[in-house]
Chains A and B, each alone.
Chain A
Amino acid sequence: MVPLAYYLVLSGILFACGVTGFLIKRNIISIFLSIELMLNGVNLSFVAFAAQWKAFSGQVFVFFVMVVAAAEAAVGLAIIISVYRTRETLNVDRVNLLKL
């Protein structure tokens, strides 16, 4: 028997790791991976709440999150490819065309 709170703390840790990676990483692909990590942390809390309240809606929402994540990955990686084609770098510090 595992309390629900343990699952929530684990999901919080994963989300915090994702936020930290999003802030400290300088490679655009690593930033993208951190976003995926955050989405995974949220999915875990959805499933844990679904098991707690015996509601299947939580599991259905996980599917929607996964679909949105897959669409986001496809579009985001296409953007990364097109950025790399024009700037020839993956470092976000060098992608500063909109900076003053």
Chain B
Amino acid sequence: MLHLILFSIFGLICIAGALNLLVQRHPINSALSLVVVMGSLAAEYLLLGAEFVAAIQVIVYAGAVMVLFIFVIMLLNAGEEERTRGSRVALLFGVPGMLIGSLLVAWVLLEHSGTHAVPPGALPGPPQTIGWLLFHDYLLPFEITSVLVLIAIMGAVVLASPPQSIQRSKKEG
């Protein structure tokens, strides 16, 4: 019962943050409400027994990635976005269609999925087990990911450096 109450509280915080992200016009407000969503998602991971994932969620996602976002928002001095008028077709068909579709999916999941309840802490996720999986069963994806990160770093440096500096280094090289 306590588990269900905690799930509802953090789930409501999550949804409220997500809706606030949509409503806010200034990107910095959207970014901060995304931090709220990520924090309450970390609490949901704790309820599912995935302690290590929860820690990584707070450290990497809510910490590093969001700091990068907020840094760029402040660097570019992003102001409030201008609203454009939405198309009428989207209002007429999109909104009811999305509502019907999501209600259908929720109904199927809640009534016909045939899944059992997840007890609290069902999956004690010690970091050793995850590390063992990561370095044995998923060694190849892990190594490929390191190459991906290397390419991303180089791409970010090349894209973000001003054009003149690249031309100068081409002449020198």
Contacts and interface: CB of A to CB of B under 8 A. Distances in A.
Interface of A: 1-10, 12-14, 16-18, 20-21, 24-27, 29-30, 32-34, 36-37, 40, 43-44, 47-48, 50-52, 54, 56-57, 59-60, 62-64, 66-75, 77-82, 84-85, 90-91, 93
Q: Which of B31, B38, B81, B149 has the most CB of A within 10 A?
A: B81
B3 A74 contact: no
Contact of B72 (A13, A14, A51, A77): A77
Interface of B: 3-4, 7, 11, 14-15, 18-19, 21-22, 27, 30-31, 34, 37-38, 41, 44-45, 47-50, 52-53, 56-57, 60-61, 64-65, 68-69, 72-73, 75-76, 78, 81-84, 86, 98, 102, 105-106, 109-110, 113, 115-120, 122-123, 125, 129-130, 133-134, 137-138, 141, 145, 148-149, 151-153, 155-160, 162
A80 B110 CA distance: 40
Contacts of A62: 50, 53, 56
